[in-house]
Chain A
Amino acid sequence: MAKVLMKGNEAFGEGAIRAGCRFYFGYPITPQSELAHFLAKRMPEVGGTFLQAESELASINMVFGAAGAGARAMTSSSGPGISLMQEGISFIACAELPCVIVNIMRGGPGLGNIAPVQSDYFQATRGGGHGDYRLIVLAPSSVQEIIDLIREAFDLAEKYLNPVLMLGDGLLGQMMEPMELNEEKNFFIPPRPWAASGRMGGPKRIINTLYIVPEEAEKHNLKLNQKYKKIEANEQRWENYQTEGAQLVLVAFGTAARICMGVVDYCRDQGLPVGLIRPITLWPFPVKAFDSILSLDTVHYFLSVEMSTGQMIEDVRLAVNGRRPVFFYGRYGGMLPVLTDVVKEVKKLLLEEEP
């Protein structure tokens, strides 16, 4: 297929349409607005609905309604907007409805800024809202991967009846890259016996999140937890980049991973044994990547490189589980890690005295 040039934010939109999504509800916020602009044009072309909501509270609840009625629906936002959505996301997770939420992260806390960061990692991977729940979290690192992963996001949401969050940042959203468009999905709504779409002669369906009797609430939590365990077992995704023979393994996702690939290439040119694990699913965190790399015995250290003060490193430490030291390098507030600075860190670990 011929390559086309597209912005990351637009790729989320086109990818969603090609994944059969026909309902978008959202509220403007930088740096994700191009996604909304794109779908405002594109949805009517395919007979879909683009609706600008009055707030993120409304947009996530519109998604709740459309998804509960059986539609493929999505929303997108950034930092403050995603924070406002948390109650709704918790409801969607509890009611076990499929949907996709895109967070093009921006600097925080507070109003912060619109520069690229990765500081919503905790919010994304720890549930985010109230209660015991998980989101499947996908972190693309290129425009091509955006369009491929958003299709997978809708499929995973449907497979597990769980909201899927896609994490990007302003850089990925604004970046233009050539990519191959995947085929348009033959759009059909699979039978959804759980959808409250009007009885039409069938049994009554309730989309509910209230479990007033603790025994029943415990049962529901257990059911959710069993699902999460299954997702953890089956859906870990990551990319190993030059990990063979690596003594130092960088761990980075999204934009930071793109920078780290450059770091790895540079180091390898200089004969430094450096590799990269790039988590693609942030939840479930790709623990298996660490188990398999540690079984090789060549790795001495891990270095978590993030555009935050250190969030994913907690998962890296849990995955490594004390078997090797884990170090951190980060830039924050919208500042990007610079290749030469990361290389300096790498050299410190590999060439200087045992740290």
Chain B
Amino acid sequence: MFKKVFARTKALEDVPFHFCPGCTHGIIHRLIAEAIEELNIFEQTIGVCPVGCAVFAYNYFACDIFQAAHGRAPAVATGIKRALPDRVVFTYQGDGDLAAIGMGEIIHAAARGEKISVFFINNSVYGMTGGQMAPTTLPGQITATTPYGRDREINGNPIKVCEMLSVIEGTAYVARVSVHNPASIIKAKKAIKKAFQVQLRGLGFALVEILSTCPTNWGLSPAEALNWLAENLIAYYPLGDFKIPKEEAKNV
């Protein structure tokens, strides 16, 4: 008899992802689904998926799920969580979704300390609409709408979401992780799990920013994209915990 060492999590549907080759959205989907299964919260979890490349998340996650308007997932999640406080509610949002059009909703959900878990996928571009500049696009980065590179004078500066949200009362857990290599993936999974645990313990708002690749719009091969992320995105967006629950902070 062979021992089964890896199985598809039941929190994901058994269908192929539509993401481009080398896109790390798929890895992040799997990590969230595995966390849901391992925490044994599948039956009470409700997801809110965004407008963006992850718009079909409802086809992949096997839990109950909403497809929200661009940027509004935190408001939708607020409505769900207020109606059903004993359920586990998460949002999955891109950087255009969360940090541009949806900035109002995310800040206020955080300030209210909504007991939801937010997974924020920062790939430094608008993937779905063809690689335009996102609020997270790096200075100098070439995108479809910054063909000469992002110019701080013209396009302003990137927004560091974790740094900003961590100073807001109401956030209980804020962390930035990456998925560019196996070690970082293991750490990302831990953070994702923790974001759910913070919600389960009723501690407040939890957000995990996950640096992610967009090889298609970056114009790189999957392998090059992983390297570009490691060298450029992580340099600008340092990884780590920006806020941990108070009770844990005391023990450090």
Contacts and interface: CB of A to CB of B under 8 A. Distances in A.
A328 B108 CA distance: 47
B108 A62 contact: no
A204 interface: yes
A197 B82 contact: no
B75 A58 contact: yes
A274 interface: no
A196 B65 contact: yes
A54 B81 CA distance: 17
What is the predominant secondary structure among interface residues of chain A facing chain B?
Answer: mixed
B104 A55 contact: yes
Contacts of A199: 42-44, 63-64
Interface in A173-227: 196-201, 204-210
Nearest to B81: A65
A200 B64 CA distance: 10
A130 B44 CA distance: 33
A70 interface: yes
Interface in A320-337: none
A73 B76 CA distance: 12
A112 B27 CA distance: 51
Interface residues of A, number: 38
30 contacts: A23-B79, A23-B83, A51-B78, A51-B82, A53-B75, A55-B104, A57-B104, A58-B75, A58-B104, A61-B68, A61-B69, A65-B66, A65-B75, A65-B79, A65-B83, A67-B79, A70-B83, A88-B69, A91-B68, A91-B69, A196-B46, A197-B84, A198-B43, A198-B45, A198-B63, A204-B65, A206-B67, A207-B66, A208-B58, A210-B56
B62 interface: yes
B37 interface: no
A209 B55 CA distance: 11
Contact of A196 (B42, B56, B66, B105): B66
Q: Nearest 5 CB-CB pairs, A to B?
A: A65-B79, A61-B75, A66-B79, A62-B79, A65-B76
Interface string B78-118: 11111110011000000000000000110110000000000
Interface residues of B, number: 34
Interface in B5-50: 42-46, 48
A25 interface: yes
Contact of A69 (B62, B68, B69, B79): B79
Given A53-B75, A57-B104, A210-B55, A65 B45 contact: no
A69 B72 contact: no
Among B68, B104, B108, residue most surrounded by chain A Cβ atoms (within 10 Å) = B68
A71 interface: yes
Contact of A64 (B62, B76, B84, B87): B76
Contacts of B108: 53-54, 58
A65 B64 contact: no
A208 B64 contact: no
Contacts of A205: 64-65
A54 B67 contact: no
